[in-house]
Amino acid sequence: MKGSAEIMPYEVTITDILLAARFLKNRIRHTPIEFSPALSKITGGKVWLKLENQQIAGSFKPRGAFNRMFAMTEEERQKGVITCSSGNHAQGIAMAARDLKVRSVICVPGQCPQVKRESILEKGGEFVELRVIGTYYDEAEIESMKMAERENLVFISAFDDPYVSAGQGTVGLEMLQDEPELDIILCQISGAGLIRGVATAAKALRPAIKVWGVHAKANPAWPEAVKKGMVELVDEEVSLADALGGGACQNHLDFVLNKLEGLIAVSEEDIAKGIRFMFEKHHQLVEGAGAIAAAAALAGSIDLKGQKVGIVVSGGNIGEEKFLSALKCGR
């Protein structure tokens, strides 16, 4: 269950996000937001794509990882850190670990693609120890929290942390800076650190904006949490959107219930079509999680006619085999 560690409830404000943006300047990329003629024609709206697949390490995750790692106390740095990640957050932690010379234990589930495992080790070098645990995210996270206690390491969540969410919120800040008249944002939801940060920034700058969370049908964690008003473990299936694996987060539940417009589920076939669309129409290599919000628009899962729409393309870390498979499935 995501967010099952003893983390007290917290707020993430526009001030936190602005401070993160100031810190991250010249450390991460202000990624482009690209107009999509093809999606605009299909949906009847005006659609822009926030290309975080062009971010350092190939995803939005370094924004939060850097903001959290560099905020550590000297005592925390001496202890070393441990994190659990489906692969992208881990790469940001690995990069920061090398810069700070901090020992970092990184736990990934068995479904973490080999391309991401190799990148984690390359980016962290001697400061990173990679541990593969179980198959799915939740079991890896639970075990990593136990390791943190046993080995006296500082646990850094990929999503359930105010510094992480504020750093990730700079995605939304940049979107509204570059396209200040957006009416709707479609954003991935997994742990919900990203969408909480994005929605907080966007609504601070444009209060009437509507933010939708997009997830794989293979993982019903958030729909179940919203329906029941509480977070419980749910069964999930292997998905092309492997980066969106794992359960919902209790600390983000109230925000999801009260600040998001709703949730959109996307099938595996439509995720594959989204990957193919991004490759053919925008010449972008995008992983399943990165393509899922564009896939929702492509499939007509939400009425965007007459709206100005920002879509978060969260990452591009996809292996050759999975990419070629998606291209075939997406025909």
Q: Read off the CATH number of the domain in which 37 is found.
A: 3.40.50.1100
Whole-angstrom distance, CA of residue 324 vs CA of residue 240: 12
Q: What is the mean predicted confidence (pLDDT) over 153-158?
A: 96
In this structure, are 170 and 45 located in the same domain? yes
What are the tens digits of pLDDT across the range 258-279? 999 999 999 999 999 999 999 9
Domain boundary among 125, 160, 195: 160
Gyration radius (Cα) of the chain, Å: 18
Integer angstrom CA distances of residue 128 from 61, 100, 114, 309, 331 = 17, 12, 16, 39, 40
Name the packing angle between helices 193-205 and 170-178 (round to 10°): 40
What is the band of 284 on the pLDDT scale with cuts at 50, 70, 90?
very high
Q: What is the pLDDT of residue 24?
A: 97
Alpha helices in the chain, H assignment, sequence order: 14-24, 37-43, 61-69, 74-79, 88-100, 114-124, 137-151, 162-168, 170-178, 193-205, 221-228, 250-259, 268-282, 288-298, 320-329
Does residue 3 contact residue 249 with C-beta atoms inside 8 Å? yes
Residue 328, pLDDT score: 86
Residue 159 has pLDDT above 80, yes or no: yes
| Domains in the chain, number | 2
In a domain? residue 203: yes
Q: pTM of the full predicted structure?
A: 0.93
Instruction: Establish if 147 belongs to a structural domain.
Output: yes
Q: Is residue 3 scored above 60 in pLDDT?
A: no
Q: Which residues contact 126 (CB under 8 A, 6 or more apart)?
A: none
**pLDDT > 60? residue 298:** yes
Give mean pLDDT, residues 104-109: 96
Specify the pLDDT at position 330. Answer: 60
Is residue 185 domain-shared with residue 231, that is, in the same domain?
Answer: yes
Q: What's the average model confidence in pLDDT over 138-152?
A: 94
Per-residue pLDDT tens over the stretch 206-251 = 999 999 999 999 999 999 999 999 998 888 898 999 989 888 999 9
Q: Do residue 24 and residue 99 come from a single domain?
A: no
Pair (127, 188) in one structural domain: no
Residues 43 and 190 in one domain: yes
- Residue 7 is predicted with a pLDDT of 65
Predicted local distance difference test score (pLDDT) of residue 87:
87
The three-class DSSP label of residue 24 is helix
Average pLDDT estimate for 316-321: 92
Query: To the nearest whole percent, how much of the chain has pLDDT over 90?
Result: 88
Beta strand 46-51 pairing with 81-84? unpaired
Report yes or no on 9 lying in a domain.
Answer: no
Q: For CA atoms 154, 159, 160, 161, give the dihedral sign.
A: positive
Average pLDDT, the chain: 94
- How many residues appear in the chain? 331
User: Is residue 194 domain-resident?
Assistant: yes
Q: Is residue 1 pLDDT above 50, yes or no?
A: no
**Domain termination residue (choose one: 133, 160, 187):** 160
Contacts of 177 (CB under 8 A, 6+ apart): none
Residue 9's pLDDT band, with cuts at 50, 70 and 90, is: confident
Same domain, 124 and 203: no
pLDDT digits (tens, 9 = 90+) for 41-74: 999 999 999 999 999 999 999 999 999 999 999 9
Residue carrying the six token digits 């993430």: 12
Q: Does any domain span residue 38?
A: yes
Counting beta carbons within 10 angstroms of the beta carbon of residue 94, is it exposed (0 to 12), middle (13 to 18) or buried (19 or more)?
Answer: buried
- What pLDDT is stored for residue 138 in this prediction? 86
pLDDT score recorded for residue 4: 44
Residue 6: predicted pLDDT: 52
How much is the pLDDT for 5?
46
pLDDT band at 137 (very low <50, low <70, confident <90, very high): confident
Residue 196 lies in a domain: yes
Q: Based on the fold, state whether residues 39 and 72 are members of the same structural domain.
A: no
Q: Rounded CA gap, 75 and 65, in Å? A: 18
Q: Quick one: 169 and 28 in the same domain?
A: yes
CA distance 139 to 245: 11
Residue 6 within a domain: no
Is the Cα dihedral 132, 133, 136, 140 positive or negative?
A: negative
Is residue 169 predicted with pLDDT exceeding 80?
A: yes
Dist CA 95 CA 117 (whole Å) = 13
Residues 70 and 55 in one domain: no
Q: How confident is the model at residue 329 (pLDDT cuts 50, 70, 90)?
A: confident
Domain assignment present for 4: no
Mean predicted confidence (pLDDT) in 123-141: 93
Same domain, 183 and 307: yes
CB 173 within 8 A of CB 201: yes
Range of the domain at 249: 14-60+163-329
Both 31 and 105 in a single domain?
Answer: no
Which of 160, 190, 207 is a domain's end point?
A: 160
Q: Which residues pair with 309 in a beta bridge?
A: 47, 184
Task: Kindly state whether residues 319 and 217 are assigned to the same domain.
Answer: yes
